[in-house]
Structure 1
């Protein structure tokens, strides 16, 4: 078998060699013939670049009179052939890369006879074959045609390096002062912040005065404070008062997705501002630029912050003297660690805060007064009561509450009054309540009612035990309503809606009351269902209580004479001691809660019956029922 295989292979190779020899002999004869006759046929030359004419030759073998190949090693070889029944001579110019495939797959594979045109032939028929299509311009055109894709990619790369990738760079438009809306008067209340802004305006307008004190560029401004307090609007107000354009960009938009993109975007913003002499560059949500540098191993992550540092306080020059940088952040150096070098670049810092009760009332009145006449029932509107309920809400959230009230008023064909604003506050903060989701879950509704009433009674427990009259207890209570309706937004089958307070500095006693109030729900479940009847509905309460206890015991060291932040010492002293302290205090407060709530068992059962019947009880209804129970007792 191997012998037969080798014999067949040898015969096959011999056949191929004979076929190639025959092609070369026939091609040489064709070349000899063509060299003597083509001069007379140059009038009928047909030039093209259609490779299909070559691939069609095997099917027209009987008609083929001769086939020549001119300049096979050049960039553009030529195939020259003539048919017996036609006087025209065809000259097909192909790229060198296609020529190799054509020679192998068409000429040799089908045994078509061809010959290589000699230099003598090319010299004698130069005019006929080239006809000006082989000059410098044509050679350049052929080169461009062959490398069009490569050249396009190189040009695209150069554009990316110079201008960045479209859609990945920062998008910032120059806003003329005439197109900026609003004024400083729209910043309701906040008189302390207004004074800071007016002082900043004075610094910018009277630069010469400050230069006499060697303050040559006090125009890097840092705005900090909670979201929705007006930082973005303030930048627009200032640009409008100074009558200079504003360039606004987001801090997150500076990161373009490739190394150096943020630095390039910042430099582009700076050049755009310098071209306008006096201009404000406002970077919103730029807290990431204030984080300490050098935290990661990838050093290029700090390129954007390093570039901003250089632009804020780089080499002293006349360029950019009129550029004012305003950077806004939801965090400040008191609430989070920030880069010291970056903070030093901002001699002017304006800290925004949440509005107080009087300012909330003024804001609500301002938002409501912008509505058309007849939309608000001012006679039935107690803005002081609404302002008290909406504690710790930012101006933006207050505006959202008013907008939600308008939507409810339009939908129900009502005027905006106190009750509608309360409903809008509930809808904006908690979400849409669904009674149908708990209508057929009577056992769960009873558990929810007991749980929520447990929260309520433990919130007013200190006042009741102090012998305070019920009217005063009602006044001090932050309760708005108790509901056994489901709320999908917070994932609850019931809730207690309470108003906030403006206290930011809470004492140890007040924090312990907060923990006891959180434990009220789970304690009520244990009171009525036993220790093994506590449900998973207490998860959120326990998480909040754990956070408060961790702050009281570990961070503020409220139960120790040595005032230390134990959370910073966990790595050296271990977690067992701090965990034992938290567990001991949690056990103490929960034991008190469980004992105290037993005194209200009969009142809880009585109010529970009414709550299950009505689904929702307002503050007035709850205290009416409580007064009745206390009178009976």
Structure 2
């Protein structure tokens, strides 16, 4: 219990702190909660409809606020409220979709958002909890009854221990001897290594650069997808330069109080200056790069403005040895950023995803760390594994290897190609389940037809060229077709295909992608009629719509005038062009898939019986069908 005697002692020891403490206690007693945390108590609407997030681009003016809860979990929640609408909307999305939504919808359209803080989630437990838990409910009841008492005691203890919020930030200080690893751990990525070595030379030989009238701090900006090694590289650089590394999360700078982020940055800088030569590493700093002046409140840009000043360096010897290194998952090519902030960084290093050769090296490195007898090297084709793991970051590749070890331990087996494939599927798709669909025969039949429709429209161009099935099999990226449910994706089946490293796709290839997406819904219409199409095609149609919008409006692939039509206000005309192209491609898909009706029907029966068909099994059945047709013709 916080006694009066202790309060008097605090008054005698520190009048300023005591005054602030009394003010905080009075504020708490009057239930004056922080203004930056929304206090909605209205009804909650839960959904897994990602289209509600994409629709925010057109509803930006109506948006009252938007927060992302648990962004690093397997199921982040987007929490938002529209002006004049009492409903609090909570959209649950897969973790695999979160980064795409953040980049393509929120950042690209300059939609303001924040990470949901713990105090908000504590007062809105229903946001993250899908079912009531009786024990938690009883605990919650106790907390509600004693909320004021707990709040007052906690606030007193916090202020006495940590001081006033906003005057500091949690930062990890690592000395060179505490930093693990070296540049050799950055497998492949020779272009990035060279950039880092050049940066090291610039820092070590500043006098040479002064001769060229370059006398500004070498601030460093690291960009690229998550899991590509940006944080590790900051540690490698500090170790090579033999200087301490002060690491902090940019998202944790804001304390919720006006000026809190600014004070936290100054505290970081003072801590670095006290050590002389030092690296300040700010991770997850994309929020600081958003264009300033977007909000109506003048203090919203205080943190970014402070960082701008600190990046310019101090006009004295103090702070001359401080190097700022910031990391962001986005760059100025993928999202709009503040140009003044970008100009402060003389060095920009863009990380990329590893190519096939680098993925093979990474996998070999991860697997070679295991004890002898854990890996069956004779039965392991790393080139094949590297091929199916296209577009995975080094961190995700390591996750695949760890998952392979878990499966190997459970099954008392050695890691081989097949086990690595299963680990890749588990790490990227999630846990599959047959029991969910076992008794749903009609639904599983629809799913089988839908997924086979995708597959046949994937190989349709090569079949129409008259290529033999062996060559079609070699070109096809298919890995398997399944009618098992995937709880992570909310799907009752899926087609698993290897990705492609090539990012520059042509108009013809993009049209093939749209046709392949339409293959599922076209198969349903072929077998059940136009009024028998199910809602299972929602995700396919959303993807096709996005691709057609990009092809027609943003890249003007069907027009001689190469313009980004999405920047103009004539949205109705844009819709007409997209609709016309969609009608053309879907009509082609429906006509084409009719040619494979007999084969789809036969494969459907086998898929229903076996639940899963591998690439080898599917093409073996196609070859068998082909031979039977030849015998009938003879």
Shorter-chain TM-score category?
A: 0.7 to 0.9
CA-CA distance at 1:314 after TM superposition: 4.5
Q: Is the CA contact 2:379–2:417 (under 8 Å) kept in the aligned structure 1?
A: yes
CA-CA distance at 1:262 after TM superposition: 0.5
SS in 2 for 1:249: strand
User: Partner of 2:250 in structure 1?
Assistant: 251
Q: Is the CA contact 1:229–1:394 (under 8 Å) kept in the aligned structure 2?
A: yes
User: Partner of 2:387 in structure 1?
Assistant: 388
User: Partner of 1:588 in structure 2?
Assistant: 584
User: Partner of 1:175 in structure 2?
Assistant: 174
- Further displaced range: 187-196 or 558-567: 558-567
SS in 2 for 1:545: helix
Q: Which runs of 5+ in 2 are unaligned?
A: 24-157, 630-634
User: Partner of 2:468 in structure 1?
Assistant: 469
SS in 2 for 1:617: strand
Per-residue deviation, residues 590-614 of structure 1 (Å, max 9, x unmatched): 0000000011111111111111111
Per-residue deviation, residues 252-308 of structure 1 (Å, max 9, x unmatched): 011111000101010011011111110000000001111111111111111111101
The match for 2:19 among 154, 160, 178 is 154
User: Partner of 2:508 in structure 1?
Assistant: 509
Distance 1:261 1:526, change over 3 A: same
User: Partner of 2:205 in structure 1?
Assistant: 206
SS in 1 for 2:491: coil
CA-CA distance at 1:632 after TM superposition: 2.2
Q: Is the CA contact 2:217–2:313 (under 8 Å) kept in the aligned structure 1?
A: no
User: Partner of 1:436 in structure 2?
Assistant: 435
CA-CA distance at 1:473 after TM superposition: 1.0
CA-CA distance at 1:563 after TM superposition: 1.2
CA-CA distance at 1:144 after TM superposition: 6.8
CA-CA distance at 1:417 after TM superposition: 0.6
CA-CA distance at 1:162 after TM superposition: 13
CA-CA distance at 1:375 after TM superposition: 0.5
Q: Is the CA contact 2:363–2:401 (under 8 Å) kept in the aligned structure 1?
A: yes
From the CA coordinates, give the structure whose radius of gyration is larger.
Answer: 1
SS in 2 for 1:325: strand
SS in 1 for 2:574: helix
Q: Is the CA contact 1:481–1:618 (under 8 Å) kept in the aligned structure 2?
A: yes
Q: In structure 2, how many angstroms separate the alpha carbons of the residues matched to 1:318 and 1:472? A: 68
Q: Is the CA contact 1:220–1:346 (under 8 Å) kept in the aligned structure 2?
A: yes
The match for 2:626 among 618, 626, 630 is 630
Q: Is the CA contact 1:245–1:279 (under 8 Å) kept in the aligned structure 2?
A: yes
Q: In structure 2, how many angstroms separate the alpha carbons of the residues matched to 1:605 and 1:630? A: 14
Q: Is the CA contact 1:217–1:321 (under 8 Å) kept in the aligned structure 2?
A: no
CA-CA distance at 1:319 after TM superposition: 1.2
- Indicate yes or no: 2:563 matched with 1:564: yes
Distance 1:245 1:157, change over 3 A: farther
- Indicate yes or no: 2:270 matched with 1:271: yes
Q: Is the CA contact 2:176–2:244 (under 8 Å) kept in the aligned structure 1?
A: yes
Q: In structure 2, how many angstroms separate the alpha carbons of the residues matched to 1:531 and 1:173? A: 61
CA-CA distance at 1:423 after TM superposition: 0.5
Per-residue deviation, residues 424-465 of structure 1 (Å, max 9, x unmatched): 100011111101111111111111110000000000101111
CA-CA distance at 1:173 after TM superposition: 2.3
Q: In structure 2, how many angstroms separate the alpha carbons of the residues matched to 1:155 and 1:595? A: 75
Distance 1:303 1:602, change over 3 A: same
CA-CA distance at 1:217 after TM superposition: 2.9
CA-CA distance at 1:567 after TM superposition: 1.2
SS in 1 for 2:568: helix
Q: Is the CA contact 1:554–1:578 (under 8 Å) kept in the aligned structure 2?
A: yes
- Indicate yes or no: 2:597 matched with 1:606: no
Q: In structure 1, how many angstroms separate the alpha carbons of the residues matched to 2:208 and 2:22? A: 50
CA-CA distance at 1:212 after TM superposition: 1.1
Q: In structure 1, how many angstroms separate the alpha carbons of the residues matched to 2:255 and 2:561? A: 49
Matching of residues 132-147 of structure 1 within 5 Å: none
CA-CA distance at 1:316 after TM superposition: 2.4
Per-residue deviation, residues 297-338 of structure 1 (Å, max 9, x unmatched): 111111111101101104522111110110000111111111
CA-CA distance at 1:630 after TM superposition: 2.0
Per-residue deviation, residues 571-592 of structure 1 (Å, max 9, x unmatched): xxx2211100010000000000
User: Partner of 2:418 in structure 1?
Assistant: 419
Q: Is the CA contact 2:167–2:263 (under 8 Å) kept in the aligned structure 1?
A: no
User: Partner of 2:129 in structure 1?
Assistant: none
CA-CA distance at 1:169 after TM superposition: 4.2
Distance 1:236 1:628, change over 3 A: same
Q: In structure 1, how many angstroms separate the alpha carbons of the residues matched to 2:405 and 2:287? A: 37
- What do you get for the CA RMSD once the two structures are aligned? 2.2
SS in 1 for 2:221: strand
Q: Is the CA contact 2:313–2:319 (under 8 Å) kept in the aligned structure 1?
A: no
SS in 2 for 1:199: helix
CA-CA distance at 1:355 after TM superposition: 0.4
SS in 1 for 2:400: helix
User: Partner of 2:399 in structure 1?
Assistant: 400
Distance 1:610 1:377, change over 3 A: same
Per-residue deviation, residues 533-588 of structure 1 (Å, max 9, x unmatched): 11111111111101101111111111111111111102xxx221110001000000
Matching of residues 407-556 of structure 1 within 5 Å: 407-556=406-555
User: Partner of 1:193 in structure 2?
Assistant: 192
Q: In structure 2, how many angstroms separate the alpha carbons of the residues matched to 1:202 and 1:345? A: 19
Distance 1:241 1:144, change over 3 A: closer
Q: In structure 1, how many angstroms separate the alpha carbons of the residues matched to 2:272 and 2:520? A: 58
TM-score, normalised by the number of residues in structure 1: 0.75
Distance 1:617 1:214, change over 3 A: same
Q: Is the CA contact 1:486–1:494 (under 8 Å) kept in the aligned structure 2?
A: yes
State the aligned residue count.
488
Q: In structure 2, how many angstroms separate the alpha carbons of the residues matched to 1:499 and 1:253? A: 38
CA-CA distance at 1:174 after TM superposition: 1.3
Q: Is the CA contact 2:166–2:254 (under 8 Å) kept in the aligned structure 1?
A: no
Q: In structure 1, how many angstroms separate the alpha carbons of the residues matched to 2:623 and 2:164? A: 70
CA-CA distance at 1:468 after TM superposition: 1.5
Q: In structure 2, how many angstroms separate the alpha carbons of the residues matched to 1:595 and 1:339? A: 49
Q: In structure 2, how many angstroms separate the alpha carbons of the residues matched to 1:597 and 1:290? A: 48
User: Partner of 2:58 in structure 1?
Assistant: none
SS in 2 for 1:606: helix
User: Partner of 2:110 in structure 1?
Assistant: none
SS in 2 for 1:259: coil
User: Partner of 2:367 in structure 1?
Assistant: 368
SS in 2 for 1:282: strand
Q: Is the CA contact 1:479–1:497 (under 8 Å) kept in the aligned structure 2?
A: yes
Q: In structure 2, how many angstroms separate the alpha carbons of the residues matched to 1:289 and 1:144? A: 42
Q: Is the CA contact 1:203–1:218 (under 8 Å) kept in the aligned structure 2?
A: no
CA-CA distance at 1:164 after TM superposition: 5.4
Q: In structure 2, how many angstroms separate the alpha carbons of the residues matched to 1:240 and 1:259? A: 36
- Indicate yes or no: 2:613 matched with 1:617: yes
